[in-house]
Amino acid sequence: MDCTNTNSIYDEEAKTVKEIALKHLVKNGMFANDANAVLKAYQDRTPEMDGRWDDFADSDPFQLIVCLKIGINSVALEYIEENIPNAWFKPIFEK
Residue 10 above 70 pLDDT?
no
What's the mean pLDDT in 40-45? 96
At residue 62, the pLDDT reads: 80
> Average pLDDT in the 31-56 region?
93
**DSSP 8-state secondary structure symbol assigned to residue 3:** T
pTM for this one?
A: 0.82
Distances (CA, A) of 81 to 28, 64, 84, 89: 16, 26, 6, 11
Does 8 score more than 80 pLDDT?
no
User: With bands split at pLDDT 50, 70 and 90, how would you rate the model's confidence at 11?
Assistant: low
**Three-state secondary-structure class, residue 80:** helix
Q: How does DSSP assign 19-77, residue by residue?
A: HHHHHHHHHTT--HHHHHHHHHHHHHH-GGGTTTTTSBGGGS-HHHHHHHHHHHHHHHH
* Mean pLDDT over each residue of the chain, to the nearest integer: 85
Q: Where are the domains of the chain?
A: 13-93
What confidence tens digit (pLDDT) does each residue in 62-93 have? 888 889 999 999 999 999 999 999 999 999 99
